[in-house]
Structure 1
């Protein structure tokens, strides 16, 4: 009996460690937009399943949304319930992907749903119970205020717009849904596409669209992963590292998003949860060390650099099949 209970607990722990992907399709408005949003959602579903994530799709069907007293629950209620049912702790991230249109009335930004719309405060309140990594990708227009409203440590927030005033239809959702599992978006050549790489690739493709069409760009995506609520645009990066500096000296984003992958490589999957945790810590230490290079004595800098790289190399050796080259640690270039 004891052995059976231990096995059940071990199985439950494994289930809880699977990433969860909640994709919400908003009110389309037209059949044309509805078809596009459904296609984008299907890409997220395919990528999530390839990465062994649990996937939930909300919205996008022909069901009515009158409310519990008159019919099925609204999409607002479905999303709230889906978040409420998630295990509150764990190492694996929760992905919240919002596909659709957004609005901004000068005070509050909302994501348009069938039925009641989703506000920043609603989503932030629902996420408060979760003590695990959280990724929010809001692909809608006017989504900029979601970045500041949701920004927090252990969260990565991506918005298609940099402010609530960018209210034209956003194409960013198309490009990031295509990039999240696209090998050509693997900028650092480690056999997997990070959230940062998908963000950079999608932003570049948005820019190319407007340039090719000779149109003024009406959307500028941002990424925040350091909890300061400011966000960093894609054109501040060279490769996968931010190279520009904020005028006020604020920290730039990207280091944490570079560690998150919806479809991990075989090598990544071979790392134990403990090894992944330690690897992530070391890579963030490495990124922080790089930012201090100009202020440190040269000997001290390289001594600390060697210490970090040696431990990283040992971790990667554990997960690298014989005959394959070890990956280059994030932040070592």
Structure 2
């Protein structure tokens, strides 16, 4: 295939950054692309040509992309819709280690996948406000374990997810163990004080992420999160969550006997995850450690879009819990579950059939949009806010569409997916223009 520039794209690459910088593949330079959004949508430039994408069997390559030099008619426009004719222009060839795709419907998923990857690295996150609470330990081994889990999650959120440090609060039974890292002691009063701070700092539409790590108990009717001094009951947690009616809330109870919380805490715009499926599962749990692991180095990022959604973190942790018991040939004494549709009937495996997973799938901890806006030229900030709001809506529509995929005809799904991704491409392209310093 002469006169083509070939790019090999690793799983973890930021496609937008890749396309806007010179790269070398097998020792050869592939040149510059000044507008990756337009190019990947089928736009043509005088020195480039149409985009051809093919699946790649060889690891670590997801896709290889050819830009075929091609003349275009003077009256043709390099618009997003030019991507629709790719299939008819492609040649059918077999290359070593490559899988050819022919026909429009064969090419379309690849084009859409590239568009999705292009935008995914820059999808704006809600402002995130997190509260990590380690329970009273009771034993030195648990004290060290809960400290390890809490500090690792704190670092993952601040260092890797870029949540501002002041927006990640950590309560621990012995604040002196790491004074700069700890907001307060693991007591009921400090828990409520931390909630007040989250309420004061967060805005409508922000993400409030609360993680309870350690020991929990139940008398069969009432759950208690074990703290230093009086424990926090399910009623206390409901009161705490009641502050955040304007925000999206994720509460993770990674403790024994936590299963009943999905019934008592379920509500609108709430994701409730528990380590157990009932109050009767009262042995120590490992779910919390794997939840932390899901966010570390984005291990739970199943779709490789650079973010870990709450659903991805849950599914990663759930699978790891299953593996942990199987590897040790032990009877599983914890069965994680999730509720996010507000009906209080949690699912072990969230899906369109169970009704759970849609909200969790679109929520990801990350750096606040305000940080991006602050760095943009002052004259662009109003339009940027409007575009970020529009982008957030499209992202939510995309999440809802993917959630319904199993119940849709393939043609209908692809048509709707194309429409949303092209809309996202246009919005994202304009955002990129406005974010550039003058």
Same fold (TM over 0.5): yes
- Is the alpha carbon distance of 1:40 and 1:295 closer, same or farther for their aligned partners in structure 2, counting shifts above 3 Å? closer
What SS does the aligned partner of 2:228 have?
coil
- Matched with 1:116 is 230
- Matched with 1:96 is 210
Question: In structure 1, how many angstroms separate the alpha carbons of the residues matched to 2:150 and 2:405?
Answer: 43
Output aligned runs, 1:261-276, within 5 Å.
Answer: 261-263=364-366, 274-276=386-388
- Is the alpha carbon distance of 1:97 and 1:74 closer, same or farther for their aligned partners in structure 2, counting shifts above 3 Å? closer
User: Any idea what the Cα deviations from partners look like across 1:127-176, whole Å, max 9, x if unmatched?
Assistant: 21222111111110111111221111111111111111111101000110
Matched-pair contact (CA < 8 Å) for 1:182–1:193: no
- Is the alpha carbon distance of 1:289 and 1:37 closer, same or farther for their aligned partners in structure 2, counting shifts above 3 Å? closer
Segments of structure 2 that go 5 or more residues without pairing to the other structure are 1-125, 177-183, 377-383, 434-438
The answer as to 2:281 corresponding to 1:166 is yes
Output aligned runs, 1:69-218, within 5 Å.
Answer: 75-85=187-197, 86-87=199-200, 89-130=203-244, 131-218=246-333
- Matched with 1:40 is 149
- Is the alpha carbon distance of 1:275 and 1:225 closer, same or farther for their aligned partners in structure 2, counting shifts above 3 Å? farther
- Matched with 1:254 is 357
Question: In structure 2, how many angstroms separate the alpha carbons of the residues matched to 1:73 and 1:43?
Answer: 18
- Is the alpha carbon distance of 1:153 and 1:109 closer, same or farther for their aligned partners in structure 2, counting shifts above 3 Å? same
Question: In structure 1, how many angstroms separate the alpha carbons of the residues matched to 2:422 and 2:216?
Answer: 47
User: Any idea what the Cα deviations from partners look like across 1:161-204, whole Å, max 9, x if unmatched?
Assistant: 11111111010001101212333321001012222111111111
Matched-pair contact (CA < 8 Å) for 2:136–2:228: yes
Question: In structure 2, how many angstroms separate the alpha carbons of the residues matched to 1:217 and 1:294?
Answer: 30
What SS does the aligned partner of 1:165 have?
coil
- Is the alpha carbon distance of 1:140 and 1:300 closer, same or farther for their aligned partners in structure 2, counting shifts above 3 Å? closer
Moved more, 270-279 or 116-125: 270-279
Matched-pair contact (CA < 8 Å) for 1:143–1:161: yes
Matched-pair contact (CA < 8 Å) for 2:149–2:289: yes
- The alpha carbon displacement at 1:300 in A equals 7.0
The answer as to 2:170 corresponding to 1:57 is yes
Matched-pair contact (CA < 8 Å) for 2:238–2:264: yes
- The alpha carbon displacement at 1:288 in A equals 4.4
- Is the alpha carbon distance of 1:294 and 1:209 closer, same or farther for their aligned partners in structure 2, counting shifts above 3 Å? closer
Structure in which a larger fraction of residues adopt strand:
2
Question: In structure 2, how many angstroms separate the alpha carbons of the residues matched to 1:95 and 1:294?
Answer: 29
TM score, norm. by length of structure 1: 0.75
What SS does the aligned partner of 1:143 have?
coil
Question: In structure 2, how many angstroms separate the alpha carbons of the residues matched to 1:22 and 1:313?
Answer: 34
How many residue pairs get aligned? The number is 284
What SS does the aligned partner of 1:49 have?
helix
Segments of structure 1 that go 5 or more residues without pairing to the other structure are 1-16, 64-71, 322-333
Q: CA RMSD in A?
A: 3.2
Question: In structure 2, how many angstroms separate the alpha carbons of the residues matched to 1:193 and 1:45?
Answer: 15
Question: In structure 1, how many angstroms separate the alpha carbons of the residues matched to 2:252 and 2:406?
Answer: 35
User: Any idea what the Cα deviations from partners look like across 1:212-231, whole Å, max 9, x if unmatched?
Assistant: 00001111111222222222
Report which of the two structures shows the higher radius of gyration computed on alpha carbons: 2
- Matched with 1:328 is none
User: Any idea what the Cα deviations from partners look like across 1:251-287, whole Å, max 9, x if unmatched?
Assistant: 2x22222222224599x96895654543443344345
The answer as to 2:420 corresponding to 1:308 is yes
What SS does the aligned partner of 2:315 have?
helix
Output aligned runs, 1:4-15, within 5 Å.
Answer: none
